[in-house]
Amino acid sequence: MREIVFDTETTGLDPASGDRMVEIGCVEMINRVPTGETFHAYFNPERDMPPGAEAVHGLSSAFLSDKPLFRDTAAALLDFIADSPLVAHNAAFDFGFLNAELALCERVAVCTSRMIDTVALARKRHPGAKLSLDALCSRYGVDRSHRVKHGALLDAELLAQVYVELTGGRQIGLELPAETNTGSDAIAVMRRAPARRTPRPARPHAASAEELSRHRAFLERMDAPLWGS
């Protein structure tokens, strides 16, 4: 199954108030395994960058000034995500910005039925625990030492590892291959007889005539043995 883990960086918290998406990073996974295929883009938000937002992700207005507009990259992004389920941390936030950008360039919104929220998964699995991406990386031993500031692609790569842990961990790689793990094939594997081995000839186990003679001589030298009384 193909899934896309993604993250966004923005100018603020609310697209309805004029905040825009300035970065998106996507990681392709097949059967919960990253394939190495990614999509990453920065966008000119056509507005200023508030200092509070820049402090989070480090993306300044000057840096973004020569980047493409979202509408110029939308087709490539939509081709990459295709119709796959989309995994995000606090997914309603990322979906809100993605669909707001799609609306601005008069494209169809991504249906929220495709949304998989890792915050909801973590809350169900670890009720009462901290649910931030940093906290989950620490819980599952995901190395985030290179994460100085938020970055969409880096955070998507970290989230992909967390998502694997939230949905079964590394054990998912221990299943039988699909072609032998279903129906009668699986039953046939379980019932297959072990390979036959050629039996080894039995080792000699009877005493020789010489050994018996030495044993009798030894017994005759014993003084009043118990078994002789």
Show binding-site residues for substrate: 7, 9, 57, 155
Residue 205 annotated in active site: no
Binding-site positions for a divalent metal cation read 7, 9, 155
* Alpha carbons 138 and 198: distance in angstroms, whole number: 54
Does residue 93 contact residue 6 with C-beta atoms inside 8 Å? no
Full DSSP string of 14-35: -GGGT--EEEEEEEEEETTEEE
> Any idea of the CA torsion for 129, 135, 140, 141, to the nearest 10 degrees?
-150
Pairing verdict, β 21-30 and 33-42: antiparallel
Residues 170 and 140: their CA atoms lie apart, in Å, by: 11
CA distance linking residue 65 with residue 41, whole number of Å: 14
- Residues annotated in the binding site, as ranges? 7, 9, 57, 155
> Of the listed 126, 146, 150, 205, which one is catalytic?
150
Instruction: Report the catalytic residues.
Output: 150
